[in-house]
Amino acid sequence: MRIEIISNSSIFTKNLGKKFSRVISKGDIVLFSGELGGGKTTFISGIAEGFDLKENLSSPSFIILSEYSIDNWRKFIHADLYRLENTGEINGIGLDDYLYDDISIVCIEWGDKIKDYIKKEYLEINLSYLIDKSNIST
């Protein structure tokens, strides 16, 4: 199934992520793809907010993977694979530890890089820019 939603602001995108947190649960993997600056981190930040995570969620581009405790029986994992050059590097960051456990909700930015690597069902979200033609002058 394909659903298309148009967001006109980062606030809307974050709120959409917050609502999305209600339909995902432990054991789920969500792969995010799209252009640089397209809203992936904002959407994932909304998911984290939906789980009442108090930590400030930011793009983990430099640390690649962040783990947050939702409660005693769930973890929220945020991975940013922008700098990942090949799937062989996955073992080095510990992502496998979370992909196949039953307590983690895993959100992966640039997830299209490892689609073939993941051996269980996952959700895909693609975020892209739309050009506002009303701002184009000829």
pLDDT in tens, 103-112: 999 999 999 9
pLDDT tens digits, one per residue of 44-87? 999 999 999 977 776 555 668 899 989 888 999 999 999 888 88
In percent, the amount of the chain with pLDDT more than 90 equals 59
Question: What confidence score (pLDDT) does residue 94 get?
Answer: 86
With respect to residue 40, please indicate whether it lies within any of the assigned structural domains.
Answer: no
Q: What is the CATH number of the domain that holds 74?
A: 3.40.50.300
Structural domain range at position 115: 25-35+53-126
With respect to residue 6, please indicate whether it lies within any of the assigned structural domains.
Answer: no
Contact between residue 74 and residue 93 where contact means Cβ atoms under 8 Å apart: no
With respect to residue 72, please indicate whether it lies within any of the assigned structural domains.
Answer: yes
- As for how many domains the chain has, the answer is 1
* Distance in angstroms (rounded) separating the CA atoms of residues 108 and 31: 5
Query: Which band of pLDDT confidence, cut at 50, 70 and 90, is reported for residue 136?
Result: very low
With respect to residue 11, please indicate whether it lies within any of the assigned structural domains.
Answer: no
The residue among 56 and 32 whose pLDDT is bigger is 32
With respect to residue 64, please indicate whether it lies within any of the assigned structural domains.
Answer: yes
Tokens 């073939």: give the residue. 116
* Distance in angstroms (rounded) separating the CA atoms of residues 110 and 84: 9
